[in-house]
Amino acid sequence: MRGGKNLMKLNLSRKIALYVGLLTLVVSIAFGLVALRFGTSAVEETADEALLLLAEEGAEKLETYIQGVFDVIATIADTGSLKSMSWGTQQFALEKEVTRLKSSGYISMGVVYPDGTTLFTDDSKANLGDREYVKKAFRGETNVSDVIIDRVTNTAVLMYATPIYDNFDKIGGVLVVTKAGSDLTDITDNMGYGKNGFAFIFGADGAFFAHPNREAIMKQLNIYTDLKEGGVYENVGQEMQKLGVGNPGVVRYIVTEIPRLAGVYPMKLTGWTFAVGAQEVDVLARLGGLKAGIYISAIVFVISGILVALLIGRIISKPITRVSEFAAGIASGDLTCHIDETFLRLGDEAGDLARAFETLGGSLRRTISEIQNSAQDLAASGEEMSAAAENSSANMEKMSASTEEISASLEEIASATQDIAAASQQMNASTSELLENMVEGNKSAKETEEHASKVQSDAETGRRRSAKIYADLDARMKEGIEKAKIVSEISSMANQI
């Protein structure tokens, strides 16, 4: 019995612990998801801000580099040798500059004359008058071309152009400088966000000028062309269209099934767009610590909740178990058990339950005591009834004897009645005989008169004796009836009890 009670108690405690544990788990998961969501949002916002800042800094760095090249070639174009507009003088001066700047990625230099004829220091000749960068230079603007693929050398190059002012301070030609296109990728390769970070540059038309994948440059892949043709960089083109050309911002896209995000910033000096990016997994890697913290916190929180729930379960189940034991004792007939005063003093629902059962036990004890007292009274009444029954039996025996006496008296009355009848018959006979013998004389009359007197005397005696017997029988019958009433009342009382 005790083992069953302990099992019930443990079950109740475990149920409370289970429910609280489940509730704690649900709350922990909910808070974890909310924290993770807000954490992810915060990390993404931080990453967006960082990427946009990196993109702005990268664009400024690239523009500073390009502006440095502009300054170098503008300084060269401003020398007296180039102002002379004599190719011989210019070639000699430019050859020296190429040799001096070769380590800085300068490949060749040349002069474009007003008719478009272009002479280079390597003695090559071309007509570049229709090139946009040359036209801008003739308009007085130092600028750089988009990346050009030299099919002869299969290399990417950049053409810088700056006006040459002659001795009359008029634009007499344009200085063009060829530099390796790898200068841009050498800069962008060192940029990026996170472990797998990257950076790239694309022009106003969407063609890549710098990219971690050199083939993207050599094949002149274009984000807007891929958008139309469903190429690899289609998603980049879609996001750039949403952002708007020339607008800074952060774009999210997928390339080769890898989610990426990049900060985009326009390069006003060239009209290009610089982007620095990261793989999403690297950005969200910073959430690993947050996730681990959330998981650990949730586990600790759940375990703590279960332990606290077990303690609470014991506190709650203890009075309930005691009340259950009390109820089981009452059910088995043990009315001497009581609930501990400790539980009766509780001010909660468990205390109310304990007090209610204690009151119930007291009521049962009082009820049983009253029943016992009533049983004792009933036993006494039973004894009285038994005595009354015995008296009734004696009275009944007396009534039976009286009845027998009455019966005997009745028999005597019957016998007397028969005698009277016989006497009457005899008197009738005598009367008839008297009448018949009346004629015989007065002799027989005297005998008849005497005999009649005797008969009359016997009849009167029988009548008085019958009256006495009837009076005595009536008194006895009344006494018997009274006694029968008493017996009936005692029987009724016995039935009621």
Residue 28 and residue 302 in contact, taking contact as beta carbons nearer than 8 Å: yes
User: At residue 399, does pLDDT exceed 70?
Assistant: no
Question: What is d(CA 274, CA 297) in angstroms, rounded to the nearest whole number?
Answer: 42
Query: Would the CA dihedral through 121, 122, 126, 130 be positive or negative?
Result: negative
What is residue 462's predicted lDDT score, i.e. its pLDDT? 64
User: At residue 272, does pLDDT exceed 80?
Assistant: yes
What is residue 271's predicted lDDT score, i.e. its pLDDT? 93
Closest CA to 364 of 391, 331, 386: 331
Q: Which residue has the tokens 């985009």?
A: 264
Dump pLDDT digits (tens) for 420-431. 556 556 655 654
If one compares 446 and 274, the residue with the highest pLDDT of the two is 274
Which of 239-243, 352-356, 357-361, 410-414 ranks highest by mean pLDDT?
Answer: 239-243
Residue 335 and residue 368 in contact, taking contact as beta carbons nearer than 8 Å: yes
If one compares 219 and 307, the residue with the highest pLDDT of the two is 219
Region of 388 (left: φ > 0; alpha: ψ -120 to 50; beta: rest) is: alpha
Dump pLDDT digits (tens) for 350-391. 677 778 877 877 777 778 777 878 777 776 776 776 665 566
Specify the range with the lowest mean pLDDT, choosing from 189-203, 265-279, 323-337: 323-337
Residue 263 and residue 51 in contact, taking contact as beta carbons nearer than 8 Å: yes
| Percent of the chain with pLDDT strictly greater than 90 | 41
106 confidence band (pLDDT: 50, 70, 90) = very high
The tokens for 160 are 């810088």
Element (H, E) at 272: strand 272-279
User: At residue 419, does pLDDT exceed 80?
Assistant: no
Please compute, for residue 432, the number of CA atoms within 13 A of its CA located in the half-sphere on the CB side.
5
What is residue 406's predicted lDDT score, i.e. its pLDDT? 52
pTM of full prediction above 0.85: no
Over residues 448-472, the mean pLDDT reads: 67
435 confidence band (pLDDT: 50, 70, 90) = very low
What is residue 32's predicted lDDT score, i.e. its pLDDT? 73
Nearby residues of 479 by Cβ (< 8 Å), 6 or more positions away: 399
Residue 201 and residue 183 in contact, taking contact as beta carbons nearer than 8 Å: no
Q: Which residue has the tokens 């090249």?
A: 69
If one compares 235 and 394, the residue with the highest pLDDT of the two is 235
What is residue 323's predicted lDDT score, i.e. its pLDDT? 72
Over residues 487-496, the mean pLDDT reads: 56
75 confidence band (pLDDT: 50, 70, 90) = very high
The amino acid that residue 169 corresponds to is D
Region of 435 (left: φ > 0; alpha: ψ -120 to 50; beta: rest) is: alpha
User: At residue 442, does pLDDT exceed 60?
Assistant: no
What is residue 445's predicted lDDT score, i.e. its pLDDT? 47
What is residue 3's predicted lDDT score, i.e. its pLDDT? 46
4 confidence band (pLDDT: 50, 70, 90) = very low
What is residue 19's predicted lDDT score, i.e. its pLDDT? 76
If one compares 344 and 166, the residue with the highest pLDDT of the two is 166
Question: What is d(CA 441, CA 430) in angstroms, rounded to the nearest whole number?
Answer: 15
Which of 35-49, 195-209, 299-313, 324-338 ranks highest by mean pLDDT?
Answer: 195-209
Tell me the pLDDT of the chain averaged across its residues: 80
Q: Which residue has the tokens 């304990």?
A: 354
Q: Which residue has the tokens 């007939």?
A: 333
Nearby residues of 173 by Cβ (< 8 Å), 6 or more positions away: 85, 111, 112, 113, 114, 163, 164, 166
The tokens for 232 are 């690899």
Length of the chain equals 497
Over residues 440-458, the mean pLDDT reads: 60
Measured CA angle at 492 (ends 488, 494), to 5 deg: 115
Bridge partners (DSSP) listed for residue 261: 252, 278
What is residue 493's predicted lDDT score, i.e. its pLDDT? 58
The amino acid that residue 349 corresponds to is E
User: At residue 130, does pLDDT exceed 90?
Assistant: yes
Dump pLDDT digits (tens) for 139-182. 999 999 999 998 778 899 999 999 999 999 999 999 999 999 99
